[in-house]
A = this chain, B = another copy of it.
Amino acid sequence: MLGEVGERGVLAEVFAALADQPADGVLVGPGDDTAYLRARRGAVLATTDTMVLGQDWRDDWSTPQDVGVKATTQNLADIASMGGAGTGLLVTLAAHPRLPLAWARGLAEGLAWASRRSGVPVVGGDLSAAPAGVVMLGVTALGELPDGVEHPVLRDGARPGDVLAVSGPLGRSGAGLAQLLDGRAEGPWVDYHRRPWTDLGQGPRAALAGASSMIDVSDGLVRDADRVARASDVRIDLRPGAVDVLAAGLDGVPAEAARRAVLGGGEEHVLLATFAPDAVPSGWVPLGDVEACGRGEAAGVWLGPDRLDPARGGWDHYGG
């Protein structure tokens, strides 16, 4: 238990697991009052996300390694969706003193795996005690834009005539969550839900290709596309055929559930971006068309004749 080895003991475990990290650009790493990171481009991207036991993961579904990977993916996908690449991670663990030390070690192993795979090191963090039963993981990611990209890609740049495209499959995490809720413990979608991972290099690649807007799919296609539509004041028409093809890709998932997972499944973390029609990067799947809003029509997402409600299949931390 953490309480038996003390703060120093926990940190020793964590640092041991993180020993083999990439160190490029880390001018001062963990151990002093702050980290000090190179920011070559004269500006820095910064984002933070928190996961709470019972709310964002269940210990009977996810190993601590899974939790470490998922938290890293969430944050680095946010950096990627601005067109950037991560440069460093700060990690906060707030946990009750009876948490097994092996859990903290496993978490650090997951962070280390994600760190090596992404090339983004853990450069600092904080360890806090929490009330009985509470475990909370906060990750802050810093990043920068690649050479050749002068501005981050925001949500508000989609223009009529653009094509909406996605950097990878959709619905895997949502389908996996539905299977876990149904009592299934194994399979590719369950695995993806436990440990989502996305090709982070697609973010800079999309920015270099001239993406006009970008977001990662964290709360579901409809909800995240709706954010782009509202920020850009446009209407996005999803292509029914493309949605069907994505749903058909969810092997072993019944058609209606697959469609629901594609439209509403969160924690997917692939990137959703808009491009001029001739600028969609190879490998990205065109999925919709950006149109001007009709007179008096509110911005939003449509599928054929239906306006899709972002609240359906979305996720609100306080249910509002």
Min CB distance A76 to B, Å, is 10
Min CB distance A134 to B, Å, is 5
Q: Is the CB of A128 within 8 A of B55?
A: yes
Report the bound CA distance from A45 to B37 in whole Å.
6
Which listed residue (B6, B82, B134) contacts A319, Cβ 8 A? B6
- A6-B320, A9-B320, A128-B55 in contact; A36/B32 too (CB < 8 A)? no
Q: Is the CB of A34 within 8 A of B52?
A: no
Chain B residues within 8 Å of A55, by CB: 128-131
Report the bound CA distance from A318 to B78 in whole Å.
33
Q: Is the CB of A318 within 8 A of B10?
A: yes
Q: Is the CB of A126 within 8 A of B34?
A: no
- The answer to whether the Cβ of A5 comes within 8 Å of any Cβ in the partner chain is yes
Q: Is the CB of A38 within 8 A of B34?
A: no
Q: Is the CB of A316 within 8 A of B6?
A: yes
- A50-B128, A94-B52 in contact; A45/B35 too (CB < 8 A)? yes
* Tally of A interface residues using CB under 8 Å: 72
Report the bound CA distance from A318 to B127 in whole Å.
9
- A94-B136, A131-B54 in contact; A33/B317 too (CB < 8 A)? no
Q: Is the CB of B5 within 8 A of A27?
A: no
Please report A residues at the B interface, Cβ cutoff 8 Å. 2-10, 27-28, 32-40, 42-52, 54-56, 78-79, 81-82, 84, 88, 90, 92, 94, 97, 123-131, 133-134, 136, 138, 140-143, 152, 154-155, 214-216, 316-320
Q: Which 10 A-B pairs have the closest CB atoms?
A: A6-B320, A34-B47, A39-B39, A33-B78, A50-B128, A34-B45, A48-B90, A140-B140, A33-B81, A129-B317
Task: List 13 extra interface pairs beyond A33-B215, A35-B47, A138-B138, CB under 8 A.
Answer: A8-B320, A33-B79, A33-B214, A34-B81, A34-B82, A36-B46, A39-B43, A40-B42, A46-B46, A46-B88, A46-B140, A128-B136, A142-B142
